[in-house]
Amino acid sequence: MTTSVLHSPRSATGLAVMVDWASQFGVTPEQCLIGTRINPRTLRIPDAEVSGQQELRAIANIVAAVGDRPGLGLDMAANYPLTAYGVWGFALLTSQTLREALEVGIRFIRLTYALCTFEARQHDGSVSIVADARTIPGPLRRFILERDTAAIAVLPREIFGTSVPPARLSFAVPDPGPAVDRYTEMFDVVPEFDAAETIITFDPEQLDVPLPQASAHSARFAEQQCRVLLERREARTGRAGQVRDLLLANPAEPPTLNTIADHLAISTRTLRRQLEQEGTSLRKLLDEVRRHLATELLHGGMSVEQVSKRLGYGHVSNFSNAFRRWNGEAPRAHLARRNATNKLG
């Protein structure tokens, strides 16, 4: 989780689900939202948004009121239906296979309630989803890691109507003692604890089974809507918006912080402070600009080499590594999958 995740807007639906869940323990919406500056009625507005920082504060309130214990985040995650994710959930539901659903899910993970960061790793046909909660405040780390990771178990179960146990599972948390049974029940596999990383691995035979509601046309539409929604949420205003506009003009040779400060007639120190207050930095803004442009340029017909040059990467391998970090797959693999989907449609 980065500072930008904490300050970026997200759907209020995820927080609404948490508030409803807390009510069964006698915790009122007002108690859940102490210090968030959110009115409980706001959570019932369909298009309402909150920041990651507000949600994190509410989670701290809820965990304190309910009483933290190993497995609590797993219990919470079981209350998130696929429909709670909006168009993101629809994109997964209509994907051709679980492999494709995981790829799309990771690519647009910022549309979900997740506060962990996620990375997809592929090896010999298998896919491993790595969840990282190291930047979450210590007292909330286990709960959020449990909640965010358990969604990977809940979603395939809703898509298939049956459990899809991972081939391997490890957690970067201490052994939960008797609560290990709750983990086993949730994932249908006994996890390894005290691991260096939290990793869920699916084997090829699990990944390539056709999904029951697969629809190439609907999947393309949902993916397009995910992209539009993500770009709208991440659209920058204020000082960050001004800097983003300057970076868009020439991402291949982006202006330095000093050059931008001169253009805006402020000091470099002031510019850096203003960007920090808005939850970002020049490096993060340039990364956002390149991420958005990369997909649009590739879909517009440019080759991987042309996009790499257009975005200012010295070597295609550097661009490929960045694209894989953004989208969970290499640019050529992304184009091949997109072309195959288009043919099916």
Measured from the Cβ of residue 29, the count of other Cβ atoms closer than 10 Å reads 18
Sign of the CA dihedral running 175, 178, 183, 188? positive
The pTM of this model reads: 0.74
Nearest of 165, 156, 162, 161 to residue 188 by alpha carbon: 165
State how far Cα 250 lies from the chain centre.
Answer: 28
DSSP SS3 for 312: coil
Relative to beta strand 126-132, strand 168-170 is: unpaired
Which residues contact residue 229 at a Cβ distance below 8 angstroms, ignoring those fewer than 6 apart?
A: 87, 111
Low-confidence ranges of the chain (pLDDT < 50): 1-3
> Read out DSSP for 167-226?
SEEE-SS---GGGHHHHHHHHSSPPB-S-SSEEEEE-HHHHSSBPTT--HHHHHHHHHHH
CA atoms of 299 and 327, how far apart (whole Å): 14
CATH of region 236-344, choose from 3.90.1150.110, 1.10.10.60, 3.40.800.20, 3.40.50.410: 1.10.10.60
Cβ-contact 145, 116 below 8 angstroms: yes
Both tokens assigned to 128? 């491993």
**What is the pLDDT at residue 1?**
37
Strand partners, 132: 117
Domain boundaries, the chain: 1-67, 70-215, 236-344
Position 239: which residue type? Answer: R
The residue written with tokens 């898509």 in the block is: 159
Which residue in this structure is represented by tokens 């799309």? 104
Give the helix ranges, DSSP H, for 235-315. Answer: 238-249, 257-264, 268-277, 282-299, 304-310
Per-residue pLDDT, 235 = 73
The Cα-based distances of 87 to 155, 259, 338 in angstroms read 14, 40, 18
Radius of gyration (C-alpha) of the chain in whole angstroms: 21
DSSP 237: -
What is the rounded distance in angstroms from the CA atom of residue 339 to the CA atom of residue 345? 10
**Predicted pLDDT at 6:** 59
Q: Which of 313, 291, 304 is nearest to 335 (CA)?
A: 304
Task: State residue 3's pLDDT score.
Answer: 40
3-state secondary structure at position 130:
strand
According to the model, what pLDDT value does residue 345 have?
56
Inter-residue contact 231 to 166 (CB < 8 Å): no
Token code pair at residue 95: 């994907």
Query: How do 49-51 and 126-132 pair as beta strands?
Result: unpaired
∠140-146-149 over CA atoms, to 5°? 125
The separation between the first and the last C-alpha atoms of the chain, rounded to the nearest angstrom, is 36
Q: What is the Cα–Cα distance from 28 to 105, expressed in whole angstroms?
A: 32
